[in-house]
Chain A
Amino acid sequence: MVPFAGWEMPVQYEGVIPEHIAVRTDAGVFDVSHMGELEVEGPRSHDFLQSVLSNDLDRLSDGDAQYTLLTNESGGIVDDLIVYRLSPFRFLLIVNAANREGDFEWLKEREIAGSDVRDVSDQYALLAVQGPHSLELLGLNDAPAFTFAEGMVDGIATMINRTGYTGEEGVELMVPADDAAELWDRVIERSVTPAGLGARDTLRLEVCYPLHGNDIGPETDAISAGLSWVCALDKEFTGVEELRRIKEAGPDERLTAFVMEERAIPRQGMPIDGGGEVTSGTHSPMLDRGIGMGYLPAERAVPDAELTIDVRGKPRRARVVKKPIYKREAGPSGGD
């Protein structure tokens, strides 16, 4: 167990690698109750959120979810989150645990009449069940990604979200905090493998999902981070002028994925020769080699560019790859 954003979190149960493999080939369950939940309600809640979130809220109907960013005036990323449309006048934001209070204050300061932001994090628990067999093992019907519905798992009423942070099919189950322990037990009884924070990190990095605080933050803009696909630059929201300018001019740096060409494991903070540093790095269980991401000058952020990473004083060769680093259907993109 390790402290994480004020929570005691399991890094691993059986081991990072077996848990990782279970999620890629079968199903694993993560207790992600540390995530924050904010509710925004009121006749003008849509207008308010449309003005502070980067993605286009008009694309959502009731029952839809969307990956989006809370941006600052310089186009930096206050947080990345998923917004759920509960009704035309009520939205749920699931945010990073470490940013829960900061996001709440950010929204409260900008709130407009007719929209009310509430932090409901302590009322809810969240279990992410992820992997190709996750729906089948839970006895749930498939549904399109980024949708949600009310449902039942073994008699426990839950919000079933077709979302996740692993690159695999799966759901995130949101239940009242009092029901969490029982839901966990029921899910485990259905032969889902318990998985910890360690595997959560290796899984998300293989598919190049950025981690707020490592790969993205208030000082990194959404375009350089490769997140222009969640920025509706044709609408008005905080920082949009700066993001339009960066998009137009082309970013100086890009968040880039790489795989090691030599045996070595890149870690956060290691310098990259010629500028930049590793923002996330680990050992990829699927590729059986070191992988990572970092900001590179745009001209070097192209597939097959050769990099040298300073691994505790030793130069180690790496190669830029297209994101994601690991892709199930097509096989790993980082092979020799």
Chain B
Amino acid sequence: MAAIEAYPDELRYHPEHDWARIDGDEATLGITWYAQDSLGELVHFEPPEVGSAITKDASYGEVESVKAVSDLVTPLSGEVIEVNQKVVDAPETVNEDPYGEGWLVRIRLSDQGEAQALLDADTYRQLLEEA
């Protein structure tokens, strides 16, 4: 069951179609509705290791559909504290619920100031319209 197109206002967005839900010094990361729709049904999630450090704007893992592989770009730097095992086991969860059950990792932020550089939902929607 595919999700309906949406870009929740409470999230922050990276132009590479990744989102972050910031909660104090932690954040949950995932890919946007647009990203999952472009890729098609996901069949593989290659997660980072728990405890590894990931750096803003760099790849921290991969998602694959039948036809394509896509790097996951982290919107924020930090240490991975949890990987969503449900998505490892059933990658299509991302297609069904990209902002809820389909989250990918949780991180502990190393620089809370980085969030300033991210897009709000309106700006991200504009970016999609211009593309």
Interface residues in chain A, defined as those with a beta carbon under 8 Å from any beta carbon in chain B: 11-12, 15-17, 198, 202, 263-265, 267, 282-283, 285, 288, 290, 312, 314
Contact = CB atoms under 8 A, between A and B. Distances in A.
Contact of A198 (B44, B62, B64, B67): B67
Contact of B66 (A263, A264, A283, A312): A283
8 contacts: A12-B40, A16-B65, A17-B66, A264-B46, A265-B43, A265-B69, A267-B69, A283-B43
Contacts of B43: 17, 265, 283, 288
Interface of B: 40-41, 43-44, 46, 62, 64-67, 69, 88
Contact of A15 (B41, B62, B64): B41
Nearest to B44: A265
A314 B64 CA distance: 15
B66 A202 contact: yes
B69 A17 contact: no
Contacts of B67: 11-12, 16, 198
B5 to A, nearest CB: 16
Nearest to A311: B46
A311 B64 CA distance: 12
A283 B40 contact: no
Nearest to A20: B66
A31 B17 CA distance: 33
A285 B43 CA distance: 9
A16 B40 contact: yes
A288 B46 CA distance: 16
Most buried by A among B46, B67, B69: B67
A16 B41 contact: yes
A195 to B, nearest CB: 13
A283 B39 CA distance: 14
B64 A283 contact: yes
B87 to A, nearest CB: 11
Given A11-B67, A16-B67, A198-B67, A263 B40 contact: no
A274 B40 CA distance: 34
B126 to A, nearest CB: 26
A264 B64 CA distance: 9
Q: Which of B43, B64, B66, B67 has the most CB of A within 10 A?
A: B66
Contacts of A283: 43-44, 64, 66
B38 to A, nearest CB: 12
A17 B41 contact: yes
B84 to A, nearest CB: 14
A206 to B, nearest CB: 12
Nearest to A288: B43
Contact of A263 (B41, B65, B69, B88): B88
Nearest to A264: B44
Contacts of B46: 264, 314
Contact of B44 (A15, A17, A263, A285): A263
Contacts of A282: 66
A102 B62 CA distance: 39
A284 to B, nearest CB: 9
A312 B69 CA distance: 11
A264 B43 CA distance: 9
